[in-house]
Amino acid sequence: MKFDKANFSKKQTCFSYISLGYLSYDMKKTPTLLALIFCLQSFAQQDNQYLQNSKKANRFQVATQVIKNNILTIPGDFKEMGKAFSNDWKRTATYAGGMLGLIAVDKYTTQFMQDHIEANVVYRLPNYKILNSDFQWFNGEDLYITASIASLYAGSLILNSEKGQIAATNAIKSLGYSFVISQLLLKSVFARERPQAKLSDRNFESSGNTKNNWDFGNFRPISGGPGGPGSAFPSLHATAFFAFAKVMQMEFDNYWIPYSFMTLVFMSKFEGHQHWVSDMVFGGILGTVIGRSVVNNSRKHRAKKENQLDQFAFKKRKIQKKVIPQLSQSMVGLQLIGNF
């Protein structure tokens, strides 16, 4: 029989002890069996207490377990990503068709974005650097994302909050996956050229960019650096930022804060992204899939471990038995007590 943790916890009932005896013979000396006395207690509560006590750990133990689980779930993360596309081929085909449609009209949508959105979004967040590093995620707008994750992890480590540490480490994984899948893999495969900065100006030309929205196949060596030829599709920033927002939304069950924060950072220095509209749309979809897959797989892994721990606690539960003679004016017999 499969162990059902939910029913095990919700029934909250079991035999705590059984008292068995015989009444003395009545006036007709008819033996009467004293009814079995069932005291319904919850050894589920006792087991839950056992589990809670077993889970009490210091900061080092919690942090070590979170990092260990984060590493062990890496294969499952990619499996979840694959399922996101393979479980519903009709939906995947619909999205693919929609992307081809966006690419087909990219010249017009991107031109509109350049003339009416980039031209009016002129704010910039303060520019900071860590240790004067030129690493992309340690300076500029990207630093706001990495700094928020680092702050969440540090605060959760101090408070010994497992939930916060899980959210932070899952966010770090989502950024890492975004970099590998978007920057190293897909950009190298599609090798799409970035658009000219002013598509509406026929006299404007900039080297290395194009006005042809079908300009794919500009293959280059795999590069982890930003920009460069053949590096438009998909947008790494859109992929990473949406992956980060999705993780935070799922871990804390809140849409407004993570997506508002992500949008505020993404729109800062918006013209600097220099992408076709479809680059960013596909990046956002890909990032959402990455973030959701990481969180779902993390939850499955933790649920599996908790179920194993519950089964272990159930098996460890021993019955303590006592047999006590009973002798009184009205009763002669034995009392059997079993504690579960």
| pLDDT one-digit tens code per residue, 301-314 | 999 887 776 565 55
pLDDT in tens, 324-334: 666 666 666 66
Q: What is the pTM of this model?
A: 0.75
DSSP string, 293-319: HHHHHHHHHHHHHHHHHHHHHHHH---
* pLDDT at 202 (0 to 100): 76
Q: Please determine, for residue 28, whether its predicted confidence score (pLDDT) is greater than 50.
A: no
Per-residue pLDDT at 269: 76
DSSP string spanning 42-72? -HHHHHHHHHHHHH---HHHHHHHHHHHHHH
Q: Please write the tens of the pLDDT for every residue from 111-122.
A: 999 999 988 888
Its sign, for the CA torsion 129, 59, 240, 182, is: positive
12-26, 78-92, 103-117, 276-290: which range is least confident on average? Answer: 12-26
* Omega within 30 of 0 (cis) for the link into 258: no
% of the chain surpassing 90 pLDDT: 52
What is the pLDDT averaged over residues 279-296? Answer: 97
Q: What's the rounded mean pLDDT across residues 224-231? A: 81
Closest residue by Cα to residue 169 from 35, 62, 22:
62
Q: What is the mean pLDDT of residues 282-309?
A: 92
pLDDT at 90: 92
Domain ranges (residues) in the chain: 5-51+318-339, 59-309
Please give the pLDDT value at position 129.
80
Output phi, psi for 339, to 5 deg.
-100, 125
State what percent of residues in the chain have pLDDT above 70.
Answer: 71
The average confidence (pLDDT) of the chain is 80
Give the model confidence (pLDDT) of 74-99 as tens digits. 999 999 999 999 998 999 999 999 99
CB 320 within 8 A of CB 4: no
